[in-house]
Amino acid sequence: MQSIATRHTAHETLNHLAGREMLGLFAMTAHAMQGDRELCLAVGMNDYITKPVSPQALVEVLDKWLQKDSNE
């Protein structure tokens, strides 16, 4: 995985450029070992999807976060 500091900085930069308090950032990775999800969330990802990505899993994650955004 890439540097934790790099990911955190990228997330902050994207939020700033979008002019939003929170812009969804999702880890889509082939890493599916125990602890990988927690690591991704700890460095600022909002959610985590493993590869190969099922269309249903992608829709569920996007729906969850788009609904949160529309409620704010």
What pLDDT shows up at residue 1? 47
Residues 6+ apart with CB under 8 A from 61: 26, 47, 49
pLDDT tens, position by position, 1-41? 455 556 566 666 666 665 655 567 788 888 778 888 888 88
pLDDT tens, position by position, 42-63? 877 888 898 898 999 999 988 8
CA 60 to mean position of chain CA atoms: 13
